[in-house]
Structure 1
Amino acid sequence: MPHSPLELLGQLLDQRGAESSAHRFVLGGPFGSEPLADSFARLGHFTDAGGLLVETSHSYARGRAEAAVGEWLRKNPGRLGVVTKVGHDQSGHDMPLSRENVLDHVRGSLESLGVEAVDILLYHCDDPARPVAELADTLVSLVEAGYARRIGVSNWSAGRLAALAGQLAERGHTAVASYQFSLAKPDPVRLNHPYADEVLLSVVRRHGLPLLGWSAQARGFFARPTGGVRHDGRPDPFDTEQNRARRERCGVLAEQLDSRPETVALAWTLHHQGVWPSIGPRTTEQIDRSLRARRLSLTDEQVHWLQYGT
């Protein structure tokens, strides 16, 4: 039996052992752009409910997100693992992934978070001008320096992810992948990021990679009766004919299961082994609503029907 939440985290990332009271959800949210009391309430509630990971980035809220999460971690050491991402500047733009830039970002993240090492450290972007081997060496050096326990990438192309997974495996590490993953498949033009399509998922499966699935609730798409425009005024990347049909099927199944459409959609993500869905609740009630997905054991037939309608 594991002796701490972080030991259990390691077991579940390696897809070993029973989940018991812990779960695979990852907590995101508007850390750094809201009152600390609100962040603290959700972090505590999530941890008490068996949560193991909080996700943030060096660039979120212009650097304030890591500091907000760090305030909670200092008061609650060892209770929650942390994922952070480096490679974006504080305005959200990609930066060259030179070893010097990466080390500078990582050291800043560790200071803001108030930890000696992050549990999962990800490149937030790729740097296609650099060989994958060089970028893999930089990641491994961060583990060897004691700055990170697990390493990986977010938003790389499938080909570059496959190359990195191979390079890290040769060095004794299993990469962690972070991509958009949900029942709703985004319009790639509107999303403007790689997402976990079948090509990328084949890489994840072939190399046995843990997948952190951000926007697992499709930015609230399944909780809305209609879609069309996001809160920032841009077209919703998830508002497509196929996704509206998926949302309708979630509603049908939710009535049968005495649940909610967004909860059914999250249960669909949990059906996929090795996927850690990331949720971004604004309240503790929304956390509870998401966690109810653990009690919905969908059949293979239901999972297929939700996605394809057959």
Structure 2
Amino acid sequence: MPRSPLQLLDGLLDEHGMESAAHRFVLGGPFGAEPAGTTAERLARFADAGGLLVETSHSYAGGRAEAAVGRWLRGSPGTLGVATKVGHDTTGGDVPLSRDTVFGHVRSALENLGVEAIDVLLYHCDDPTRSVAELADTLVGLVEAGHVHRVGVSNWRAGRLRELAGELGARGHTPVASYQFSLAEPDPALLEGSLHADDTVLDVVRGHRLPLLGWSSQARGYFARGGPKDHHGRPDPYDTADNRARRLRCTELAGRLGVRPETVALAWTLHHPGVWPSIGPRTTAQLDGSLEARRVTLTGEQVRWLRHGR
């Protein structure tokens, strides 16, 4: 009997592997800020191509993103799992992660999405005024209430993530981690408060065998263009000397493989077990282009060379 998307998702998160009928790409995008038909077309194409998980947030698109995804999910129940994040208001600002606030946001997310339970629920930020134990208790309470299946965090410092993994592990849960992850390592001063999965974070992820949702896996299109691009009037956080060298190596290898440089860069993320790269195409053509990365096989030597140049 075929397994449901949720069963496949749980299996992949637990096993850190891939199955032939599914893939680890996570679909993000401007849900709620684009026509409903565009959203529907892209979600359907993603599901047909073996996608399992769509990613959004209670705060995206001024609070409209979850409802936009929910409109499609109601018409295609059980087709895709959904990950959403709570802890930001509709302007993107942090809110206190009290139990009442978090439960209120989750209940609203359930209504917006039109689902009985959220597949993956993440804290969008940390709340350093609260103990990790308290925040872990709230996450476990959401699971026990039947509101969510899996829990985790985004943009937590490595030390707090390690403590959370211990707290949740003692309660029988393995948290999902969410950080920026791509071949291009951004300048942290230009990431606007978000965190990259640096070596300190990856040490925790690997040590506790945490699934990693890697957002901006395509580095905002860095490998598809020849120069820097401003982001909301700020300098490109990916335009560094190291990343320019990585882009040249991608271009060289892409020429040998007969694919595009950005395809090689995205394939690089898939060659890290346990990483679920998040992609944000705005059209089905862009989605199809991203999915081409599944067909690129890299050797361990090539994976190291692309990153380190040796």
- Conserved 8 A contact 2:16-2:211: no
Aligned partner letter, 2:265? A
Quote the residue 1:227 is aligned against.
228
Instruction: Determine helix, strand or coil for the equivalent of 2:29.
Output: coil
The corresponding residue for 1:288 is 288
Q: Which secondary structure state, in structure 1, belongs to the residue aligned with residue 159 of structure 2?
A: helix
The equivalent residue for 1:201 is 202
Answer whether contact 1:125 1:153 (CA < 8 A) is retained: yes
Residue 9 of structure 1 deviates from its aligned partner by: 1.0
TM-score for both structures, normalised by structure 1? 0.98
Match of 1:80 in 2: 80
Give the direction of change, closer, same or farther, for the CA distance of 1:196–1:16 in structure 2 (3 Å limit). closer
Kindly provide the CA deviation profile for residues 138-187 of structure 1, in whole angstroms up to 9, marking residues without a partner as x: 00000000000000000000000000010000000000000000000000
**Shift of residue 4, structure 1, vs aligned partner:** 1.4
TM-score by length of 2: 0.98
| Residues 1:216 and 2:217 aligned together | yes
Residues in 1 aligned to 2:228 and 2:265: alpha-carbon distance in whole angstroms: 16
Contact 2:16 2:273 (C-alpha < 8 Å) held by counterparts: no
- What is the aligned residue count? 309
Paired with 1:124 and 1:244, the residues of 2 have a C-alpha distance of: 30
2:144 equivalent to 1:147: no
| 2:89 counterpart residue number | 89
CA shift for structure 1 position 3 = 2.0
Q: Secondary structure at the match of 2:223?
A: helix
Q: CA RMSD in A?
A: 1.0
CA 1:22–1:56 in structure 2 vs 1: closer, same or farther (change >3 Å)? same
Q: Which amino acid aligns with 2:69?
A: V
Are the structure 2 counterparts of residues 43 and 126 from structure 1 closer, same or farther at C-alpha, using a change threshold of 3 Å?
same
Cα distance in structure 2, aligned partners of 1:104 and 1:203: 30
1:98 paired to 2:98: yes
Q: Partners of 2:165 and 2:257 in 1: how far apart?
A: 39
Match of 2:165 in 1: 165
Per the alignment, residue 238 of structure 2 pairs with 238
Q: Secondary structure at the match of 2:19?
A: coil
CA distance in 2, matches of 1:91, 1:284: 28
Unaligned runs of 5+ in 1: none
What are the ranges of 5 or more consecutive residues in structure 2 without an aligned counterpart?
A: none
Instruction: Give the match's secondary structure for 1:14.
Output: helix
- How far did residue 194 of structure 1 move? 1.6
Distance verdict in 2 for CA 1:16–1:267, change over 3 Å: closer
Greater than 3 Å deviation, 4+ residue runs = none
Distance, in Å, in 2 between the alignment partners of 1:5 and 1:15 is 15
CA positional deviation for 1:201 = 0.2
SS in 2 for 1:122: strand
CA distance in 2 between partners of 1:2 and 1:16 (Å): 20
Do the aligned residues in 1 keep the contact of 2:17 with 2:273 (CA within 8 Å)? no
1:2 and 1:8 in contact (8 A); partners too: no
* Corresponding position: 1:255 with 2:290: no
Greater alpha carbon shift after TM alignment, 189-198 vs 149-158: 189-198
Deviation per residue, 1:83-137 (Å, 9 max, x gap)? 0000001111000000000011000100000011000000001000100000000
- Rounded to whole Å, the distance in 1 between the matches of 2:285 and 2:6 is 25
Opposite residue 219 of structure 1, the aligned amino acid is R
Q: Secondary structure at the match of 2:85?
A: strand
- Please tell me the residue identity of whatever aligns with 2:201: L
1:26/1:52 contact within 8 Å kept: yes
